């Protein structure tokens, strides 16, 4: 195991262990429910658990190698998600040259992340690519379907690349040393592992929020929230999921990260609300296209885009919350 992994704080190691125990417990409960009921049960639940096992393994290995590997991994996820996004929407033949520049934006964006070039990181896609892509598209000389085409490419880049890159950029967070920060700094959290702890916190809380809203929706969800967008979303699921996420954030935040209790609770609220918004946005997008949500590249999770839908909203909001408070 590399020195990078060994230098991570104890709570990060314990968080990985806690997630593994939670998944193992879920496997055991699912097994006994099947034995007692004599039925196969919900295959989607078992598939989701298997996918989370895979995600946990990848995440541990990713942080075990180096920060560069972690950034490269998120760049790969952005590439797959952007590719899946474009595969759902027919593009014009004339746009292929424009798509070259859109794909080129992925390594360039993550190069900014890897070099901690914050100034270019926050403006490269929202400003430079926002202006260059329509210009390049106009130079082709085809105006029919222009608005739909450029809107598709730019929304895809913003969602799958710019937004997701904020998760990787958490690794670059270096807190400004103040009396308030020093007073609330966990004793076993090193400066080197601060960004990694924030990244682990974000991903775990985002995934937990998804699972909590799903479970509460199954157990107490009676009133549909957005039946035309996502029939499975209920008021009970949303409220129960957000409350659960805020509670877990309050318990884990001060122990795992540099956040104190008030900011941990606020972070949990941000993640709970933003995760829901990201989920329903991608759901609305797929429902508008008539995409079959039961088929995809990840077991139980339609596509990679579905798996990162909540993260596309939680990552930028959480990053800028942390950057505002501590960066």
pLDDT digits (tens, 9 = 90+) for 75-88: 999 999 999 988 88
What are 54's two structure tokens?
């895979």
- The answer, yes or no, to whether residue 212 has pLDDT greater than 60, is yes
Alpha-carbon torsion (259, 265, 267, 272), positive or negative: positive
Alpha-carbon torsion (189, 184, 195, 253), positive or negative: positive
Residue range 184-209: mean pLDDT, rounded: 81
Cα 241 to Cα 215: distance, rounded to the nearest angstrom? 8
Residue 294 has a pLDDT of 47
Q: Is the pTM of this model over 0.75?
A: yes
Residue 264's closest CA among 249, 274, 275, 280? 249
Cα 108 to Cα 125: distance, rounded to the nearest angstrom? 10
The 10s digit of each residue's pLDDT in 22-80 is 889 888 888 777 777 666 656 667 777 887 888 888 888 888 788 888 999 999 999 99
Cα 95 to Cα 38: distance, rounded to the nearest angstrom? 54
Residue range 187-196: mean pLDDT, rounded: 72
Contacts of 60 (CB under 8 A, 6+ apart): 16
What are 109's two structure tokens?
């964006």
The 10s digit of each residue's pLDDT in 117-151 is 999 999 999 999 999 999 998 888 778 888 888 98
Give the Å distances, CA to CA, from 321 to 3, 97, 173, 289, 317. Answer: 30, 37, 12, 33, 6
Vertex 213 angle, CA 21 and 11, to 5°: 35
């Amino acid at each position: 195991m590399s020195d990078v992994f060994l230098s991570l704080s104890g709570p990060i190691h314990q968080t990985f262990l806690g997630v593994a125990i939670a998944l193992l417990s879920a496997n055991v409960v699912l097994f006994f429910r099947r034995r007692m009921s004599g039925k196969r049960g919900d295959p989607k639940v078992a598939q989701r658990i298997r996918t989370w096992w895979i995600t946990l393994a990848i995440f541990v290995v990713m942080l075990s190698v180096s920060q560069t590997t972690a950034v490269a991994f998120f760049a790969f996820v952005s590439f797959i998600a952007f590719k899946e996004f474009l595969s759902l929407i027919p593009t014009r033949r004339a746009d292929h040259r424009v798509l070259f520049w859109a794909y080129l934006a992925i390594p360039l964006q993550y190069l900014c992340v890897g070099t901690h070039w914050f100034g270019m990181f926050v403006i490269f896609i929202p400003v430079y690519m926002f202006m260059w892509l329509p210009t390049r598209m106009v130079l082709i000389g085809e105006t029919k379907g222009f608005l739909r085409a450029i809107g598709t490419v730019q929304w895809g880049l913003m969602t799958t690349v710019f937004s997701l890159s904020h998760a990787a950029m958490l690794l670059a967070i270096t807190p400004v040393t103040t009396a308030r920060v020093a007073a609330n700094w966990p004793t076993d959290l090193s400066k080197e592992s601060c960004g990694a702890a924030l990244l682990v916190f974000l991903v775990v809380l985002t995934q937990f929020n998804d699972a909590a809203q799903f479970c509460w929706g199954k157990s107490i969800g009676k009133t549909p929230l957005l039946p035309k967008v996502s029939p499975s979303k209920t008021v009970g699921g949303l409220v129960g999921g957000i409350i659960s996420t805020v509670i877990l954030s309050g318990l884990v935040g001060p122990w795992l990260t540099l956040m104190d209790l008030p900011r941990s609770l606020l972070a949990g609220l941000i993640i709970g609300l933003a995760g829901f918004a990201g989920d329903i946005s991608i759901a609305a997008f797929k429902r508008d296209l008539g995409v079959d949500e039961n088929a995809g590249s990840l077991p139980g999770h339609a596509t990679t885009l579905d798996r990162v839908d909540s993260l596309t909203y939680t990552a930028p909001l959480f990053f800028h919350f942390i950057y505002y408070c501590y960066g």
